[in-house]
Amino acid sequence: MKYGIVIFPSKKVQDLANSYRKRYDPHYALIPPHVTLKSLEASEGQMKEVTDTLEEIAKNHKGFKMNIKKVSSFQPVNNVIYLKIEPTDELASLHQEINNKIIGEKPEYAFVPHITIGQKLSNDEHSDVYGSLRMLNVEHEESIDRFHLLYQLENGSWSVYETFRLGKEL
């Protein structure tokens, strides 16, 4: 079964992201806007160990501020447009510990914290959409105090398996 470990931003950020995702992201209906910390495949039998490990990781990390500063793109690697999250030591440390301690493959790319707002676009479409969206003035800061373990349903949509509160309050 497929699982993902993610951070969901506030409703305000989700509404902003969804205003673009409904047009430019074919996964719009399958999962809310999120920051992916890790993807993994595991059997139901492995999930007790995974959730126990995530519980320990959550206790080791305190809440942190997440800042979104602009719209960016992964082009030329792929035609993904996203809300760029300013890297912080806290977020990088959480990502690193999850990826070091949870079963599964190592990430394909270096960790660039982001919230996807457009993907699977043709080159022309990407160029047009990114050309207009990168002019947006996006300035947002919020507090993050939890992350979530999701699982993928047969229809391709994602649902929360468990939520983990970060141990040390902001």
Residues 116-130: what's their mean pLDDT? 96
C-beta separation of 122 from 73 below 8 A: no
- Check whether 103 has a pLDDT greater than 90: no
C-beta separation of 154 from 47 below 8 A: no
DSSP SS3 for 57: helix
How do residues 142-166 score in pLDDT, each as one tens digit? 999 999 999 999 999 999 999 999 9
Q: How far apart are CA 143 and CA 44, in angstroms?
A: 32
Reported as type and span, the H/E element at residue 66 is: strand 64-73
How do residues 33-86 score in pLDDT, each as one tens digit? 999 999 999 999 999 999 999 999 999 999 999 999 999 999 999 999 999 999
- Check whether 168 has a pLDDT greater than 70: no
Active-site positions? 34, 114
Neighbours of 70 (CB within 10 A): 15
pTM of the model: 0.93
**What string of DSSP letters covers 87-125?**
P-HHHHHHHHHHHHHSSSPPPSS----EEEEE-S--HHH
Average predicted confidence (pLDDT) for the chain: 94
Tokens standing for residue 13? 């950020």
Q: How far apart are CA 19 and CA 36, in angstroms?
A: 20
pLDDT of residue 131: 95
Tell me the residue type at 161.
Y
